Amino acid sequence: MMALRHVIAVSAVLFANAALADNTALTLSQGDLNSDDIGTVIDVAIVNDGALTYDSAVVTCSFTARGKETGSASTTLFNLLPGSKGQDQVHMLGPRSDKAACRISATTPAAP
């Protein structure tokens, strides 16, 4: 049973690394952060400066208020062609937040 858990854990790590592989040509930028009693919204954009097309890229943001974590949320940008820019917003429902730290958490390159 322990060996099976180890195989599953290693497989999960390898799959996650494959999803993150070779996305150095993608540049993430964060825009305005707006917060109210319903939640927090931040503008995000990804520029594809590489030669590959990406079917999708997931942006995950961690939100904080006065240094304490308030939650996290994600969005997915689709069809990032070479030289293109994809834009969206990440919406987190819940308490007000005053800061967000966003990252590209997964990518899916287009099939050859």
pTM of the model: 0.80
Tell me the longest C-alpha to C-alpha distance in the chain.
49
Q: What is the pLDDT along the chain (112 residues), one digit of tens a residue?
A: 444 444 343 334 334 444 544 678 999 999 999 999 999 999 999 999 999 999 999 999 999 999 999 999 999 999 999 999 999 999 999 999 999 999 999 999 999 8
User: 31 CB contacts (<8 Å, ≥6 apart)?
Assistant: 42, 43, 44, 45
> Domains in the chain, ordered, with CATH?
2-109 (2.60.40)
